[in-house]
């Protein structure tokens, strides 16, 4: 016999031919027992790892093989084979053991303890005839096969004999394989799975899903089980089920019966589904139970509102169905489509005695009937009955019942009549419907007819053939007010009244007496379809699209009847008609009609007495108006058309702008209004002015005495406005423009590039840059630019100058002008206090330059004072930039985050609300800021002291100037020169920037930023807790508490005699605490931390850090190291301070000089480290009489050996 013990490494242990004992340690090991009766001893109890997994399978000759692991992934593991005796204690985590019990039959042994945590045992005892397994009080486990302890949850498989299982609180699973089992699964949510497939005798099984009890006729009893499954044998088995908790039944071979009885039970309603399982069986589910291979069903549902579905196909092969809905309001959907003939009727008790099953106490039905001769009579529920090609006699009874007929396989010519007022219908194949409230019919390839009436909705679908729909709702009220008839090929689809239809070639509808609106696409009429529509009584509107036809006649007669070459229409009071190409003739009636002309041809349109609207097309329209206010709509702006009187009281409208499409020439008589894209014009009043548009050549356009619009377009044109207030647009080319009397506007809105125009330049050509060399013959008052970056300049009059889009410059001249910038970043030139500036929101960033005192209007962002006079500037509520001139200005920012720059002169700057920026360059400047008006900053080129309520000061340029704060917490920033910065009171942030600066914080907790070795920091005692942020090597001066190294460079920091906080950066730093109880934090990088005198806290951070002890102090001043890492960091001891090492060479500590424990055991052990507490002691004489002194506390209690300690 041999005992084989592993190491902490990954071992392979191979046994002898004797009875060996294997004891692996905590590596990843492999064990081969070899011959003999071998034992594997393994104890993982010291490991607190979750997810361990153990697999014990049957090996050869009654032995075990498998694997054992602790943790996931495994921190330690054993792969083994040929082991007959296993003694195993698992980790403190949650482990799982999978055991094949077969080797136990041959005499193998197991003794398994799950250890701490929540552990699971999955054991297969099916190789034993009889098994007894119990988890008792305090979770103690007794088992007839093996020894187990420390398991909280089980998955057990039993054999075919007599078995007993008792468990406590886990979610357990027990698997029976045909034995006589007594099972009590205690607390938790437990599962029982039974397989009786080997039984040839009938079994009877009962499951109470409310009490969680199960029993089998072979003597098996199960309690405290919350779910399960059972498989029957080859005989005729019976399964009795009820209750909420889930159970699955597989009847197996034989003619098996399912009995479900919840008569009188209340609770939530549920579903019972019986589908065709094939070979005359059902499969499905009731509530939370499921079943398969069931041939006989006797089910009584609870008294809740339940739903059931039955596919009766299995009944044809001998299955039986007896289903009772119970109390409550229950719904049954049943599929009889597998049968040629079905009879369905309810007796007085509410039971349906059908030719295919018995169904009782259901209140609402849905059923599908086959293609034979069927009868169906239902009751008071809202039932749905589907006919699938049969000759059916159907009575829906009371309730809101629906019939669906699918006769799409029929090639016969079917005739269908529906009366929605009585709920009756007949189909020519012999089908009769009564008691039906709604439905649909789908026919096949024949030429079918549908005659519909009444308000109850019914839908028809013609499919193939030439099908006819006639609907008559005469005298009815309450139909849908809108109907839609769409076209596809030679048939219609859509809706008519309260029904829908599809694939109908011939449509005839008389609508109800409601006010109906009918939408029609008449295109199918061109492919042979037929359409006849009567609006009925009421005020009806027909919207019809004839655009598919090249010529349409449509005449509304005096009696409302329409004569048309496309369909028949009557009984409508208003029409909206869309026309196609060709020559169309339309005569409208007395209603308010609308008409869309076609895209070509010559249309003649006569309106009636209503207020009619006509949309012109691209052809030549002749419109003859009548009584009412008629409107002719034109696609395009008014400036692109000319309007001339025909001398007979009518008008001729001509499209002159062919670039956007030719709208043709239209002749209008008795039309009151013209509606263009941009404006509406009253035709009787249009004689007050003209619109003249030139050609691409040299034109001469002469206006009238009224307000005209003259547009020269291309060419060298002459435009003469006349006496009215004219709009003049020379267009491209070198134009001569005369406004005449009136207030005239010169516009360059059509220019293709930026223009420069001066209204004061008269009598000679001026190069506009973007629109030719124009000659202004006489005075023009107003000027409009282009969409580009224009320069527009007025004259001595009061001009209106509009920039439109683009970054424009607008200068009105000396008059009282109105300047409108438009979109873009515009510049306004102001020289008259009566000028008016207009800028809308979101139209760019705009600047006003002024020679007079000025206040910005809304939507302006910038103001610049010009000239040499002492004038003032005022902003608005936005974020403004206000800039003075060289005189003494007053600038007022008002609300918003403003920037105020007085420029030369002794200026007064008043920011107002918002976080403002002040630019000062004169010692005589004054900055005024009230309390609560934002966080403000002064940018100064001169020595400056912050006034009250200003928070920040930045020195600009490179002169050596000084800055002084106030009583607030200021941010003071120097320039590249040598600055003196004085924080005074408050928690100040002082940054000298370039130069050797002097920084004086004063009272408060101040922050100093240093970047020059010549910087000087002055801080008196009692002036708060201060910090220095340094980008170079730095030593704290007196009265400063904190130092943080900034930037990426490897720089060093030194404290003073106070209790300092020293913090490194991401590089390799050296931190020296000196006196005081300091806190040193190295950050990233390989740092050196030297606490010096005092009880210091040392934090190395990332990297390989060194913790140096160069002073021997009493134990009360021991240093604390918070993050020492074995084999990466080092402890350094000065041989001068720690004299016991004086004779040692510099370098690593001799291992003989380090004691691991609580005290030295030899005279040479001068350092003692106690890992359980993290205490590090210095003992000057080892086991001599001198006491050891604690020099450090390593709070993480790391491993420390002599390699971690250096002598210097």
**DSSP states along 1061-1102:** EEE--SS--EEE--SSS-EEE--SSS-EEE--SS--EEE--S
* One-character DSSP codes across 705-762: SS--EEE--SSS-EEE--SS--EEE--SS--EEE--SS--EEE-TT-SS--EEETT--
Token pair belonging to 264: 């009188």
Single out the residue of 1059, 1088, 1086, 1090 nearest to residue 1075, CA to CA.
Answer: 1059
Report the DSSP pairing between strands 96-100 and 141-143: unpaired
Kindly give the parts of the chain with pLDDT less than 70.
Answer: 1, 48-51, 71-73, 558-560, 595-601, 639, 644-649, 658-663, 684-690, 704-705
Helix (H, G, I), strand (E, B) or coil at 284: strand
Cα separation, 1064 vs 679, in Å, equals 74
Burial of residue 1148 (number of CB atoms within 10 Å: 0-12, 13-18, 19+): middle
Cα-based torsion angle of the residue sequence 898, 904, 908, 910 in order, rounded to the nearest 10 degrees: 0
Cα separation, 590 vs 492, in Å, equals 29
Cα separation, 1165 vs 1159, in Å, equals 9
Helix (H, G, I), strand (E, B) or coil at 1115: helix
Single out the residue of 722, 727, 650 nearest to residue 686, CA to CA.
Answer: 650
Q: Which residues contact 553 (CB under 8 A, 6 or more apart)?
A: 563, 564, 565, 584, 585, 586
SS3 sequence, 61-91? Answer: CCCEEEEEEECCCCCEEEEEEEECEEEEECC
Region label for 66, one of left (φ > 0), alpha (ψ between -120 and 50) or beta (otherwise): left
Residue 35 DSSP code? S
Q: Rounded to whole angstroms, what are the CA distances from 956 to 375, 940, 942, 963, 1031?
A: 101, 6, 8, 11, 22
pLDDT at 589: 75
Helix (H, G, I), strand (E, B) or coil at 129: coil
* One-character DSSP codes across 149-215: ES--EEEEE--SSEEEEE--SS--EEEESSSEEEEE--SS--EEEEE-TT--S--EEEEETTTTEEE
Q: Which residues contact 305 (CB under 8 A, 6 or more apart)?
A: 269, 328, 329, 330
pLDDT at 2: 83
Q: Rounded to whole angstroms, what are the CA distances from 300 to 220, 303, 319, 1153?
A: 26, 9, 17, 88
How is the chain split into domains, by residue range? 417-688, 1149-1207
Neighbours of 911 (CB within 10 A): 30
* One-character DSSP codes across 445-501: SS--EEEEESSS-EEEE--SS--EEEEE-TT---S-SEEEEEEETTEEEEEETTEEE
Q: Which residues contact 876 (CB under 8 A, 6 or more apart)?
A: 855, 856, 857, 858, 860, 894, 895, 896
Residue 327 DSSP code? S
Cα separation, 676 vs 873, in Å, equals 46
Report the DSSP pairing between strands 1007-1010 and 989-991: parallel
Token pair belonging to 897: 């985050």
Token pair belonging to 521: 């696409």
Phi, psi at 683, each rounded to 5°: -65, -40
Q: What is the pLDDT of residues 754-806, one digit of tens each?
A: 999 999 999 899 999 999 999 998 879 999 999 999 999 999 999 999 999 99
pLDDT at 685: 40
Cα separation, 597 vs 605, in Å, equals 9
Token pair belonging to 993: 């920037």
CB 977 within 8 A of CB 960: yes
CB 918 within 8 A of CB 954: no
Q: Rounded to whole angstroms, what are the CA distances from 466 to 453, 489, 500?
A: 21, 13, 18
CB 611 within 8 A of CB 594: no
Single out the residue of 591, 576, 509 nearest to residue 543, CA to CA.
Answer: 576
Place of tokens 């800028």: 839
CB 403 within 8 A of CB 433: yes
pLDDT at 404: 96
Cα separation, 110 vs 101, in Å, equals 9
Q: What is the pLDDT of residues 1018-1044, one digit of tens each?
A: 999 999 999 999 999 999 999 999 999
CB 318 within 8 A of CB 343: no
Cα separation, 1043 vs 1037, in Å, equals 10
CB 775 within 8 A of CB 762: no
Phi, psi at 81, each rounded to 5°: -155, 160
Instruction: Please tell me the chain's helix, strand, coil percentages from 3-state DSSP, rounded to the nearest 5.
Output: 5, 40, 55
Token pair belonging to 587: 């005569």
CA-CA-CA-CA torsion sign (496, 497, 501, 505): negative
């Amino acid at each position: 016999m041999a005992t084989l013990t592993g190491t902490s490494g990954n071992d392979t242990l191979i046994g002898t031919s004797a009875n060996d004992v294997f004891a692996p340690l905590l590596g990843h090991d492999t064990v081969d027992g070899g011959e003999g009766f071998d034992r594997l001893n393994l104890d993982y109890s010291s490991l607190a790892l979750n997810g361990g997994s153990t697999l014990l399978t049957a090996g050869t000759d009654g032995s075990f093989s498998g694997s054992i692991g602790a943790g996931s992934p495994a921190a330690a593991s054993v792969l083994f084979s040929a082991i007959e005796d296993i003694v195993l204690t698992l980790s403190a985590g949650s482990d799982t053991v999978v055991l094949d019990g077969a080797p136990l039959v041959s005499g193998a042994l197991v003794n398994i303890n799950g250890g701490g945590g929540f552990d699971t045992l999955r054991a297969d005892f099916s190789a034993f005839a009889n098994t007894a397994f119990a988890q008792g009080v305090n979770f103690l486990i007794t088992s007839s096969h093996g020894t187990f302890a420390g398991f909280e949850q089980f998955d057990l498989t039993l054999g075919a004999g007599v078995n007993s299982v008792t468990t406590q609180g886990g979610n357990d699973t027990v698997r029976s394989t045909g034995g006589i089992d007594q099972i009590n699964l205690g607390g938790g949510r437990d599962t029982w799975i039974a397989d009786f497939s080997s039984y040839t005798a009938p079994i009877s099984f009962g499951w109470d899903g409310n009490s969680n009890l199960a029993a089998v006729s072979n003597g098996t009893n199960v309690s405290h089980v919350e779910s399960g499954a059972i498989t029957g044998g080859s005989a005729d088995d019976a399964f009795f089920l009820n209750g909420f908790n889930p159970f699955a039944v597989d009847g197996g071979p034989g003619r098996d019966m399912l009995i479900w009885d919840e008569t009188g039970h209340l609770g939530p309603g549920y579903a019972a589904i019986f589908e065709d399982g094939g070979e005359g069986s059902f499969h499905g589910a009731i509530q939370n139970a499921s079943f398969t291979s069931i041939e006989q069903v006797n089910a009584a549902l609870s008294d809740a509102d339940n739903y059931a579905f039955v596919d009766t196909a299995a009944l044809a092969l001998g299955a039986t169905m007896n289903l009772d809905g119970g109390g409550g309001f229950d719904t049954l959907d049943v599929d009889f489509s597998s049968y040629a003939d079905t009879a369905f009727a309810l007796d007085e008790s509410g039971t349906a005695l059908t030719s295919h099953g018995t169904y009782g106490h259901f209140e609402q039905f849905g059923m599908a009937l086959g293609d034979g001769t069927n009868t169906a009579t239902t009751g008071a529920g809202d039932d749905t009955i589907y006919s699938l090609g049969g000759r059916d006699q159907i009575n829906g009874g009371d309730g809101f019942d629906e019939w669906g007929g699918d006769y799409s396989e029929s090639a016969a010519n079917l005739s269908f009549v529906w009366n929605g007022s009585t709920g009756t219908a007949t189909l020519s194949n012999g089908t009769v419907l009564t008691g039906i409230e709604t439905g649909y019919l789908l026919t096949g390839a024949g030429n079918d007819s549908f005659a519909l009436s009444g308000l109850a909705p019914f839908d028809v679908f013609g499919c193939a053939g030439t099908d006819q729909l006639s609907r008559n709702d005469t005298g009815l009220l309450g139909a849908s007010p809108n109907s839609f008839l769409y076209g596809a090929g030679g048939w219609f689809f859509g809706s008519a009244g309260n029904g829908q239809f599809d694939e109908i070639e011939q449509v005839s509808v008389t609508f109800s007496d409601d006010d109906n609106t009918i939408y029609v696409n008449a295109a199918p009429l061109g492919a042979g379809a037929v359409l006849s529509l009567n609006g009925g009584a009421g005020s009806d509107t027909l919207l019809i699209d004839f655009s598919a036809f090249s010529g349409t006649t449509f005449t509304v007669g005096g009696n409302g009847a329409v004569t048309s070459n496309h369909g028949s229409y009557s009984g409508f009071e208003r029409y909206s008609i869309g026309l196609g190409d060709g020559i169309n003739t339309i005569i409208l009636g007395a209603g308010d009609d609308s008409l869309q002309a076609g895209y070509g041809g010559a249309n003649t349109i006569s309106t009636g007495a209503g207020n009619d609207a006509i949309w012109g097309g691209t052809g030549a329209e002749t419109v003859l108006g009548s009584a009412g206010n008629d409107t002719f709509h034109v696609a395009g702006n008014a400036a692109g058309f000319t309007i001339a009187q025909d001398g007979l009281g009518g008008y001729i409208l001509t499209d002159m702008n062919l670039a956007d499409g030719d709208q043709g020439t239209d002749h209008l008589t008795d039309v009151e209004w013209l509606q263009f894209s941009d404006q509406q014009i009253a035709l009787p009043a249009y004689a007050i002015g003209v619109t003249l548009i030139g050609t691409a050549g040299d034109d001469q356009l002469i206006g009238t005495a009224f307000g005209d619009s003259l547009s020269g377009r291309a060419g060298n044109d002459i435009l003469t406005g006349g006496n009215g207030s004219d709009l003049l647009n020379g267009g491209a080319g070198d134009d001569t423009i005369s406004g005449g009397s009136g207030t005239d506007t010169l516009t360059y809105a059509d220019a293709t590039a930026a223009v420069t125009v001066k209204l004061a330049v008269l009598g000679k050509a001026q190069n506009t840059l973007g629109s030719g060399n124009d000659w202004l013959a006489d005075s023009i008052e107003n000027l409009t630019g282009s969409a580009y970056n224009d320069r527009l300049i007025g004259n001595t009059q009061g001009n209106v100058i509009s920039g439109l889009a683009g970054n424009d410059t607008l200068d009105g001249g000396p008059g009282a002008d109105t300047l409108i910038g438009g979109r873009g970043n515009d510049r306004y030139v102001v020289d008259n206090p009566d000028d008016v500036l207009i800028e809308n929101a979101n139209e760019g960033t705009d600047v006003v330059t002024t020679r007079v005192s000025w206040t910005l209007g809304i939507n302006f962002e910038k103001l610049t004072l010009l000239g040499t006079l002492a004038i003032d500037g005022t902003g608005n509520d936005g974020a403004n930039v206000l800039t003075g001139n060289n005189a003494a200005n007053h600038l007022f920012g008002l609300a918003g985050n403003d920037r105020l720059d007085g420029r030369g002169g002794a200026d007064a700057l008043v920011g107002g609300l918002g976080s403002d920026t002040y630019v000062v360059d004169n010692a005589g400047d004054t900055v005024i800021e009230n309390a609560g008006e934002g966080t403000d900053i002064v940018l100064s080129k001169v020595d400056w002291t912050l006034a009250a309520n200003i928070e920040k000061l930045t020195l600009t340029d490179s002169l050596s100037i000084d800055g002084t704060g106030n009583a607030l917490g200021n941010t003071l920033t120097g320039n590249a020169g040598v600055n003196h910065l004085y924080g005074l009171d408050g928690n100040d942030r002082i940054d000298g920037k370039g130069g050797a600066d002097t920084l004086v914080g004063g009272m408060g907790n101040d922050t100093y930023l240093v970047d020059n070795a010549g910087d000087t920091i002055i801080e008196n005692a009692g002036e708060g807790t201060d910090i220095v942020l340094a980008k170079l090597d730095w030593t704290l001066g007196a009265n400063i508490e904190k130092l943080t190294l900034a930037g990426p460079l490897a720089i060093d920091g030194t404290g003073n005699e106070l209790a300092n906080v020293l913090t490194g950066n991401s590089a390799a730093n050296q931190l020296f605490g000196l006196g005081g109880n300091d806190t040193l934090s190295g950050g990233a990088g390989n740092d050196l931390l030297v606490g010096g005198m005092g009880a210091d806290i040392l934090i190395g951070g990332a990297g390989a850090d060194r913790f140096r002890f160069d002073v021997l102090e009493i134990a009360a001043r021991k240093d604390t190291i918070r993050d020492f890492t074995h084999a990466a960091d080092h402890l350094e001891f000065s041989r001068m301070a720690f004299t016991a090492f004086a004779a040692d060479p510099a370098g690593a500590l001799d291992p003989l000089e380090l004691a691991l424990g609580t005290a030295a055991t030899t005279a040479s052990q001068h350092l003692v480290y106690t890992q359980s507490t993290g205490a590090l002691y210095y003992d000057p004489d080892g086991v001599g009489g001198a006491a050891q002194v604690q020099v450090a506390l390593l709070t993480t209690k790391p491993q420390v050996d002599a390699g971690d300690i250096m002598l210097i």
